[in-house]
Each structure stands twice: as C-alpha cells, then as structure tokens.
Amino acid sequence: MDLVRGPRSSLNLELSVGPGPIDVMLHPPPYQSEFHSNRYSPTNNKERNQTSVLEAKLTKMNEENKILSEQLDMYYEKYMTLKSKIDDRTNNCSSPTEDQQNEASPSKKRRTRNDLIIKFNNTGAERLDEAFQNESPPPSQEGFKSYLEEIKPKVTKIVMQTDPADSSLVVKDGYQWRKYGQKVTRDNPSPRAYFRCSFAPSCPVKKKVQRSAEDKSLIVVTYEGEHNHGHPSTCLSENRVLSCYTANSTSGSTITLDLTQHGLKPNMERACHEIQNQEFQTVLVKQMASSLTKDPGFTAALANAISGKIFENFSDVSLD
DNA sequence: CGTCTTTGACCCGCGC
DNA sequence: GCGCGGGTCAAAGACG
C-alpha cells in the first residue's frame, strides 16, 4: 500500500520544482556527462557562454532536486513510521482466535449494519456521515471482530444527488445492471431495488439502490463484490457523487483496527480505511495528477526532468 | 423474439 | 417453534 511513494529507487524522477526553466525545457541542454567529456568542444565564445549558463541552471536544478529528495525522504520516513504504528496496533487489537475464525456463516444483516465510513470529500458528505453514524451505534470490539471475519465481498456505498421528483432508482454508473427484485424495507418508506451485473454472466457484483430516508434527493447505492471484467464505459456516472464510504474489502492485505480502543479517534479510523480503499486510492491519484498537471510550474519541471532523463539515457547508450 | 421490469411468493437467518 | 424482515426467485407482462 505504498500510495505515498512507490518503490523509491525506481520512481526517482529528480524533479525540479519552482520557477520553471522553460527555455531549458524547450531547448534541452546537452546531457550532463558531455560537459565533462573531451568530445564537447565549443567552437566560439557565444556557445561557451550558453554552455556556462546552462551548466549553472543544471547545477541549480540539481541542488533543488537534492533538497526535494531530502524532503521526500523525510516525509517517507514519517509515513513509514505511522504505517508501522498502525500495523502494530492492528496486530495487537485484532488477532482472532481459531474458534472465532471458524464461526458460522456471515450474516448479511449485521454486515450492512457494521459498514464503515470513509469521508470522500467535504461537500455534503459530512452531514451524511453524521447521519450514518447516528444510525449505527459504535461497534463493540466483539462486533467489529466478527465483522472483520464475516464479510467476504467488498461492500461499497455511494451517495448520489438526483432529482427528488425522479422516482426511478436507475443509477448510471457505466455498468450494465439487471433488476431482480424490489422491496420496501422497514426503516425506509422508499423501496429498495436489487440489481445484478449483467455485463458478464459470471460477474458476482450486486448493487442495492434506495433513496435516503432523510433526504429524498439522495440515492444510496450499495455495491457488493468486485467486477471480474473491465469497465464497459469510461463514463463513471452522470449523477453527482457526494460521498463514498466503504466496508472492508476482500482478502489480501487489509488493515484491521480495533474501533473500540478509545485512543484511536474516528478521524484516524477513517484515514486508515481511506488508505485501504483501492477505489479511493484511484480517485486520490487522479485528483493529485489533475491538480499537478494544472500547475504550469510542475508541468514545466516534469517535462524538463523527463527530457533530462531522456538525454541522460541517451548519453549512457551512446557512451556504451 | 429476446431482454428487461414488475411483483408476489418463497427462503433463510435472527430474535424472542 | 414462531414471527419478522431482508434477500432472492421466477412467472407474467412490457417494450423495442
């Protein structure tokens, strides 16, 4: 789960961030090794001056890169420290016994009740989170353990803004769904619709769609399981996603937290599950990429770094 | 005609 | 054991 940084050695772009040397980017300098080789011999003073200017810029960029790398290392260390603390806490608080592991089959009712919440953004999600938390009492330690043991399929809840006048429970998320049931539940006068993914016959994913009891303009979509096929459409949704919270995922590396331990604040719980949630990670990466690419300084620096890398590689090849 | 939606019946787990 | 409630099935109808 190295979201913050991937393998450090392979992802070192040596970026130069700051006032972008766009002229350098547009007219990339000769690769660095060439400055120190005998093969590079400027023929006049003008070229010599340009070379020294470029060399100075390169030196400055290298210094900036060094500073940024050190800062990155510092943040990475802090991240790893926090991560190890979370892992320690996880191992201490949630080590189910063999009997507990051999408990009876999962109860779907309890699974739904113990859904965890991830705050997706701040636009309206806060209110929903509060409503959802008030609805569900804080899970006891036993309840949370059994919750962790019981659930198998990935459960994701999404709240969408729709027209309250529109009574249909159709949510366009790009996948193809087949409705197989509808039921009026006790806690909500609005009917709950049950859908199965019909894009692939063997796809195990189901979804439940129901209007929020508190706000009719909101539709709560609960996805269970993971698609065993690609996304049939690049269109994610025509509706506005207000918030997203998810329950535990399938097998694999999971973070287990004892929510009854008071030392762990709800924000921390949320943060841990945010990190754990693969979909959230994808969205986060997209948002980061989007905000970074909007920054002209970053794009210039990135282009500069990439061009520098290309020339460096070219240098290595040509010297070989 | 094939696919999808509707809807009542049925199944199953849970609490009492 | 019984009732309740959520989830699923499947027949019938609608629709393109």
In sequence order, what DSSP letters do the residues of A42-87 get, joined into one string? -SSHHHHHHHHHHHHHHHHHHHHHHHHHHHHHHHHHHHHHHHHHHH
Instruction: Give the closest nucleotide to A179 (alpha carbon vs C1').
Output: B5
CB under 7 Å from strand C: A 108-109, 112, 180-181, 183, 185-187, 192, 194, 206, 208
Q: Nearest residue to C8 (CA, C1')?
A: A181
Confidence of residue A244 (pLDDT cuts 50, 70, 90): very low
Name, in order, each residue with C-beta under 8 angstroms of A220's C-beta and a sequence gap of 6 or more. Answer: A157, A158, A159, A160, A209, A210, A211, A212
Instruction: Give the closest nucleotide to A199 (alpha carbon vs C1').
Output: B3
pLDDT of residue A102: 34
Note the pTM of the prediction, 2 decimals: 0.41
Asked if residue A296 has pLDDT above 60, the reply is no
pLDDT of residue A166: 66
pLDDT of residue A111: 33
Residue range A118-124: average pLDDT? Answer: 32
Confidence of residue A153 (pLDDT cuts 50, 70, 90): low
DSSP H stretches of helix in chain A: 22-26, 32-35, 45-93, 98-101, 108-113, 125-135, 141-150, 266-276, 278-294, 296-319
User: How many Å apart are A55 CA and B11 C1'?
Assistant: 78
Asked if residue A5 has pLDDT above 70, the reply is no
Asked if residue A66 has pLDDT above 70, the reply is yes
User: How many Å apart are A173 CA and B1 C1'?
Assistant: 29
Q: In degrees rounded to 5, what are phi and psi of residue A56?
A: -65, -45
| Higher pLDDT among residues A100 and A53, named by residue | A53
What does the pLDDT look like over A76-94, one tens digit per residue?
666 566 656 655 654 554 4
Nucleotides of C under 7 A from a protein CB: 4-10
pLDDT of residue A70: 72
Nearest 5 degrees, angle CA A247-CA A249-CA A251? 150
Residue range A120-129: average pLDDT? Answer: 34
Q: How far apart are CA A314 and CA A190, in angstroms?
A: 65
Most confident of A101-115, A182-196, A256-270: A182-196
User: How many Å apart are A264 CA and C6 C1'?
Assistant: 33
Chain mean pLDDT for chain A = 54
Confidence of residue A29 (pLDDT cuts 50, 70, 90): very low
Instruction: Give the closest nucleotide to A112 (alpha carbon vs C1').
Output: C6
Residue A221 in 3-state DSSP? strand
A27 touches strand B (CB under 7 A): no
Helix A278-294 to helix A296-319 angle (10° resolution) is 90
A176 touches strand B (CB under 7 A): yes
The length of chain A in residues reads 320
Within its chain, how far is the Cα of A54 from the centroid?
39
